Structure 1
């Protein structure tokens, strides 16, 4: 059986577990190192930064290489993966790798808030202009591309409001125009949406979320095609990005069970979301798998399933509702085994946010019936 014939769950289990890295162990061990010693000056001068080459701690050890290789193997056609200490760093560094002063970036209007802040502040000072487009623009992106446009930043589903974009269509137009495409694929991961196969040049994961899976590690990853990987890795090292071996090991540990966890997240989230749709205190439920979610047809066409994150409109006091929950934590991030609830206020410049009183839920690995009971009690308290 060739690697191409193996299913994604098998690749999750086997990826990065080279025998020369793990020896007789099941998992590559945690190798902590700053200084690497060479047998001679000639060996030192002959060393080059590369996956699998011990050179200096910044370029990693087998612990980091194992995670990077495993993530690359989930994206057929990719050349390699660069690791970062956060999901935000995994977005901002690729942008710096493909943009120069005087360039223009087209970014989806549903982009992650800190990414928008980076574009409007740092990139602006760097001499890069950002224009935001409606996430449902589809083939209309061709009319927005200007002479200075060098990259398009997508996020699908959109952060907070869950719009699903026509990623293959936008990427096909961009490729014809010589424009680089970048996608924040954290919600779906490569298991539910194979980004490189869809035409994306650089796909990004906040690996803090589903890759880690246990709310105990900060981690990011950017996987690139052969045309962009070398430049991406080069600028990552130039900027001093380095993931600790302990964090990389936690990422690899979480990766092995991501397929089974995502199935449970999906099943439970669909059950909870479907229940919420029938509640009188709830307005629109924004879940890509539901037919009334913006871009649902693209989700149905391109995705292999859904994850545990969605939003809904609440007809009542958000703070009181969220404070009344017992099984849902209140906090940023998501993707761990625990359920979370968060009041959200989407910001838009080119399109209208779906509702002014939104709550975002991440459905964890608890019994979904218990989560529904908890939500029901808090909704009933609002009525009282």
Structure 2
């Protein structure tokens, strides 16, 4: 059949062979996926391991990254979401129903708490708070459905009593979900983290951080070893129309090969910074799980047997410093940029008022404004010098 030039532009008469071996996998951009025939269309099911039916359900590009993230974290099944928070919200939406009780650590990632409070006001979800370093404060009722864990916790970086919290949840058939962004699947295996081979049910990971590594891509993941849970999550993923850009996926896939190297470098820099910060009189407390004086250190040592930790260190400034003083200190930093997130090449700083963030009393935390340092790839001595220069603003008359 003779074709018009316009038709030839869409249906090219020749196509180069599609199968070659390259270091990076091919990038697939797809909304519509073409079926070879009606048998291929109807003899498929959404629970197939690789269901190529529509772009939102997955392409070789998204499935490849998902498989790699699952392998890194010690799981089997993975889903991708547009951000870490989107992944968290998907989990909450999938498993929480009216009247259910969900337990969260007092140091939980703030936006997760906001989402749960929204569910509470709209659907009658009961949100209970526990102290992550005191498993006895986790006192679920018969309505308890879900336990959120975070290792280490947001901002104050306490490592939780993961072993006893998960044990108690499993005894009561309560689902466990771990925000694994800090550990990134590298500090410990969330699906096998004790001598008794304890495992959480689900991990959520902000791939925005270490897997991306560039501070430029937003993405999240949900990983499990349980096929039934995966199918429940996948169904909600499809119902909500969650989709990921293939271009973004390929960028994170490209960064995975250097993730462990970057993680270890930033962790080592954080340790150097930790040791120096502890000597500065302006800081009344330095928070990092590897430090023996930090709350949760014993639990960190129990689970992170290789001694790995992320590149975050928080400090609490002497209470004599006002908010204005602390803001001047942060503004005086030049290498540390004021911004949220971590895991990228540029070091970041953020200030917090703990009195506005916590609902339980924490006697292990001193009074004063908190500043969190997120270590990038700069040389540690330069970062120390940057903080040393900024400290001078605190001591001006």
Fold match (TM-score > 0.5): yes
In the alignment, structure 2 segments of 5+ residues that lack a partner are 1-17, 194-198
Aligned residue in 2 for 1:288: 289
- Alignment partner for residue 171 of structure 1, among 152, 163, 166? 166
Check whether the contact 2:290–2:309 (CA below 8 A) recurs between aligned residues.
yes
Larger Rg: 2
Question: Which has the larger displacement, 131-140 or 152-161?
Answer: 131-140
Aligned residue in 1 for 2:208: 208
Could you state the TM-score of these two structures normalised by the residue count of structure 2? 0.88
Measured against aligned partners, the alpha-carbon deviations of 1:202-258 in whole angstroms (never above 9, x if no partner) come to 011111011101101000001012141111111111111111111111121122111
Counterparts of 2:295 and 2:177, CA distance in 1? 21
Counterparts of 1:64 and 1:354, CA distance in 2? 45
Report the Cα offset of residue 364 of structure 1.
Answer: 0.7
Provide the secondary structure at the position in 2 that maps to 1:59: coil
Cα distance, 1:22–1:323 mapped onto 2, change above 3 Å: farther
Check whether the contact 2:67–2:76 (CA below 8 A) recurs between aligned residues.
no
Counterparts of 2:292 and 2:113, CA distance in 1? 28
Counterparts of 1:105 and 1:242, CA distance in 2? 27
Counterparts of 2:358 and 2:19, CA distance in 1? 48
Counterparts of 1:167 and 1:110, CA distance in 2? 14
Counterparts of 1:271 and 1:22, CA distance in 2? 48
Provide the secondary structure at the position in 1 that maps to 2:372: strand
Counterparts of 2:368 and 2:162, CA distance in 1? 27
Aligned residue in 2 for 1:264: 265
In the alignment, structure 1 segments of 5+ residues that lack a partner are 1-20
Q: Aligned runs of 1:66-145 on 2, under 5 Å? A: 66-76=64-74, 78-141=75-138, 144-145=139-140
Report the Cα offset of residue 381 of structure 1.
Answer: 2.9
Provide the secondary structure at the position in 2 that maps to 1:105: strand
Check whether the contact 1:38–1:44 (CA below 8 A) recurs between aligned residues.
yes
Check whether the contact 1:48–1:55 (CA below 8 A) recurs between aligned residues.
no
Cα distance, 1:302–1:154 mapped onto 2, change above 3 Å: same
Counterparts of 2:76 and 2:171, CA distance in 1? 21
Runs of 4+ deviating beyond 6 Å: none
- Alignment partner for residue 183 of structure 1, among 178, 187, 193? 178
Structure 2 residue 339 is the aligned partner of structure 1 residue 342: no
Report the Cα offset of residue 90 of structure 1.
Answer: 1.1
Aligned residue in 1 for 2:39: 42
Counterparts of 1:171 and 1:163, CA distance in 2? 16
Counterparts of 1:97 and 1:218, CA distance in 2? 22
Counterparts of 1:234 and 1:137, CA distance in 2? 35
Check whether the contact 2:284–2:366 (CA below 8 A) recurs between aligned residues.
no
- Alignment partner for residue 321 of structure 1, among 323, 329, 336? 329
Counterparts of 1:51 and 1:265, CA distance in 2? 36
Provide the secondary structure at the position in 1 that maps to 2:156: coil
Provide the secondary structure at the position in 1 that maps to 2:302: helix
Structure 2 residue 164 is the aligned partner of structure 1 residue 161: no
Could you state the TM-score of these two structures normalised by the residue count of structure 1? 0.91
Counterparts of 2:284 and 2:20, CA distance in 1? 55
Check whether the contact 1:75–1:197 (CA below 8 A) recurs between aligned residues.
no
Report the Cα offset of residue 153 of structure 1.
Answer: 0.6
Provide the secondary structure at the position in 2 that maps to 1:26: coil
Cα distance, 1:55–1:130 mapped onto 2, change above 3 Å: same
Counterparts of 1:23 and 1:73, CA distance in 2? 24
Report the Cα offset of residue 345 of structure 1.
Answer: 2.2
Measured against aligned partners, the alpha-carbon deviations of 1:175-205 in whole angstroms (never above 9, x if no partner) come to 1111100111111111102111131100111
